[in-house]
Structure 1
Amino acid sequence: MLKFPPALLALFAGAVLSLMIVLNSQLAAYSSPVLASWIAHGIGAAFAGFILFVCHVRSKQTRPASKPIPKWAYLGGIPGAFTVILATATVNSPLGLSGSVAFMLVGQTLFGMFSDVFGLMGSNKRKISSQDLAVVCCILSGSMLIIFTPS
């Protein structure tokens, strides 16, 4: 299996997230944010099932024995559904795609830092440094420029 640097994978995930948001917002414009979320998650589940099948057939390996998966770990689809619903509503507003993604980045960064500080959901605890605060200020400043600069 090919190995890619985590930063490259994260960058690609961000691009795919933006693509998902714009496609779902187009679907929501013709229906509703909730219906768009249902359709997106149905197609996503079918595609994930296909990928799982292909990977399982190729590897013929099972998951190595480890500690049991916490029950709350199965609930990741709930925030995903809210993400689709809320993003489709905001992209079709005056914020547009770039404003929506900018605010989403701010929310992700702040929640990520909060999770790091308190070790939420089993993540490693990490103290916020002055460099982290500087990065957040840059992200907030850039987001504000995207949102409030006239086109």
Structure 2
Amino acid sequence: MLDDIVELLRSRYGAEWGTDTDANIRFAIEAERLVADTADAHLIGEPELDDHHLTLQFWVDRPVKDLMTADQVAFEIFARISTEIFYSERKFIEGAVVYSFVTGTSRHGHCGSVVLAGPHAAEFSERFRQRTLGGPRFHA
């Protein structure tokens, strides 16, 4: 779905939407500053910019008991970095919860991922994956 959203935005605002390297570098620098004092999570390392895709990895500092808690941590971050246009979708991978996103304005767009990592996020991701996959360790 995210790719469809990006394609729609590029058809509306121009094929270069989200591909301006200088704008993406400025966004990455600003995002790092804006999330420096985020509650319940802290940035691991530097933001990574790869082929117009920004990745921000966060170590989650508290247990993630449910989906609302995971979303609360992620959207505390998004509240700081998103601009006029914003869309996100989450997926559970081994060891982390990944929130892919697009944000921007009609002039500049940014595509990326907020990755919630660390033992608390990994444990929650595994529990959620077992629930959706019906794994042997999940008991309803």
TM-score interval (norm. to shorter)? under 0.3
Bigger fraction of residues in helix? 1
Higher alpha-carbon Rg: 1
